[in-house]
Amino acid sequence: MLYSYLHMLDQVNFGTKPKVELDEAGNLKYIFIALGACIEGFKVMRKVILVDATFLKNGYGGVLVFAKAQDPNSHHYPLAFGVLDGENNASWTWFFEMLKTVIPDSSEIVFMSDRNQSLITAVANVYPQSHHGHCIWHLAQNVRYPSAFKYLEENTKRETWARVYFPGCRYNLDTSNSVESINSAFRAARRYALIPLLDTIIKKISDWFNEHRKDAVSGSIDTKLVPLVEIHLHNLWGKSEKTPVREMNSYDLEYEVTDTDDGKAYLVNLKAKTCSCKVYDYEKYPCLHGLAAYLYFFKVPAAHGRRREVNIEYHRLSSQYYWTELWAMAYYMTIYSLSDKSEWNVPDHIKLLQIIPPKKQTRKGRKKVNRNPSVGEWRKRTQNVRRPRTNFGFSWLLFGMRTNNPSEPNNPSEPN
């Protein structure tokens, strides 16, 4: 049944890459799915991939894994997902090898994750040209005490979490929490059998694509930047107009901008899209100083009757990944869910393929609900608070009594 399902998924969604791995006994070990629409859309997205896993609760054990990007308006953009037998070297290596078949290794690729050692090892082996950053949120769980500096120095590398030292470009993405919110979106589905689980995920991704596609094309034709960046620049606009600017080179578009908060002078190059404060360099859309320089560039020559040596359009101040044109292109393909299996057209040789379900994993104790913390992650323990005993029964609660004294009526105006 699983092979038939994956065959039909490939038929209705062009370019989809499903893969199944069995163990020596023929039991299901791993499964990987990358939808064709997601693969195609990632070509116009920021090359930052967030990865995380959460355990399944369907009786067979294993983990549900997501590799996702984030669209320029901070929406989920799943690239691939799968089911593994656990978080270990072999399973993570297999997952990234499958991911590499649809997203090749490149120095532009950046992975963000927690500090799971098997995941880190797999990325280093399978994607040697890429860069790997650690989720700031998970690290922040360990910086609550004065010993935090010593912990960071001894247990982490600065280039994995500090943007100023990070060798790759991760834009404004510092955490993998958004991928964990995807896992939370499928909290109920994690109890399902495999095919209903996969079907639920695909339908949800299809809904996200449809919703975000409408967002991308619903703006004004004059709006060239995604709403997130437009709002950011709008909030900076008033202050930028009052920020002192001195023109350094009118042809190369270099300006000295004096920040009114700290009194420091910053060098902005609008052609190179850089600022010495580095915020413009990292986030790839204008900082306060960059916007102030652009307003000077746009207004001052015209006010003095001078012709500009060069011209630059407003939206070109930002990386093309933030343009609405590319945002819409990321969602142009439709993701189709499968019809009823009675309508499937599956070749006989695929129907004959059989998969043995993995062995059920029965564990003692109460089933876990939340994800396992990563290496070094601190979690506050919640204490069980004992409720005070009462000298009256449940009847007072059942009938909605408000008084704390059971000898008094709930409504004093009523007769005893």
As to burial, measured by CB atoms within 10 angstroms (0-12 exposed, 13-18 middle, 19+ buried), residue 158 is exposed
Burial 80-107 (b: 16+ CB within 10 A, else e): bbbbbbebbeebbbbbbebbeebbeeee
Q: Which two tokens stand for residue 65?
A: 């894994």
Neighbours of 143 (CB within 10 A): 14
- In whole angstroms, what is the distance from residue 76 CA to residue 176 CA? 11
Q: Which two tokens stand for residue 53?
A: 């896993």
Residue 399 lies in a domain: no
* Radius of gyration, CA atoms only, the chain: 27
Task: Judge contact between 83 and 30, C-beta under 8 A.
Answer: yes
DSSP for residue 225: B
- Domain shared by 246 and 103, yes or no: no
pLDDT exceeds cutoff 60 at 416: no
- In whole angstroms, what is the distance from residue 98 CA to residue 291 CA? 42
Those residues with Cβ within 8 angstroms of residue 152's Cβ, 6 or more apart along the chain or in another chain: 139, 142, 143, 158, 161
Q: Which two tokens stand for residue 354?
A: 């059989």
Residue 194 half-sphere exposure, CB side, CA atoms within 13 Å?
A: 25
For the stretch 324-337, pLDDT in tens is 999 999 999 999 99
Domain, as residue range, for 276: 227-322
Instruction: Measure Cα distances from 267 to 18, 123, 392 in Å.
Output: 50, 37, 74
Q: Which residue has the higher pLDDT, 16 or 357?
A: 16
Confidence of residue 77 (pLDDT cuts 50, 70, 90): very high
Residue 370 lies in a domain: no
The counts of H helices and E strands in the chain are 15, 11
- In whole angstroms, what is the distance from residue 69 CA to residue 49 CA? 5
- Domain shared by 120 and 232, yes or no: no
- Domain shared by 71 and 16, yes or no: yes
- Domain shared by 340 and 313, yes or no: no
Residue 390 lies in a domain: no
Residue 359 lies in a domain: no
Confidence of residue 188 (pLDDT cuts 50, 70, 90): confident
Task: Judge contact between 14 and 334, C-beta under 8 A.
Answer: no
Can you tell me whether residue 183 is helix, strand or coil?
Answer: helix
For the stretch 344-397, pLDDT in tens is 998 889 888 888 877 766 555 565 555 555 544 444 544 544 444 444 343 333
Question: Per this entry, what is the length of the chain?
Answer: 416
- Domain shared by 35 and 148, yes or no: yes
- Domain shared by 190 and 256, yes or no: no
Count of domains forming the chain: 2
Task: Judge contact between 129 and 107, C-beta under 8 A.
Answer: yes
- Domain shared by 105 and 75, yes or no: yes
pTM of the model: 0.79
- Domain shared by 213 and 142, yes or no: yes
For the stretch 95-109, pLDDT in tens is 999 999 999 999 999
- Domain shared by 53 and 176, yes or no: yes
pLDDT > 90: percent of the chain: 52
Strongest mean pLDDT among 88-97, 148-157, 291-300, 394-403: 88-97
- Domain shared by 273 and 202, yes or no: no
Query: What does the pLDDT read at residue 168?
Result: 67
- Phi, psi (degrees; rounded to nearest 5) at 149: -60, -45
- Phi, psi (degrees; rounded to nearest 5) at 297: -60, -40
Residue 168: closest CA among 124, 141, 129? 129
Q: Given its phi and psi angles, is residue 15 left (phi above 0), alpha (psi -120 to 50 degrees) or beta?
A: left
- Domain shared by 183 and 250, yes or no: no
- Phi, psi (degrees; rounded to nearest 5) at 132: -130, 120
Can you tell me whether residue 249 is helix, strand or coil?
Answer: strand
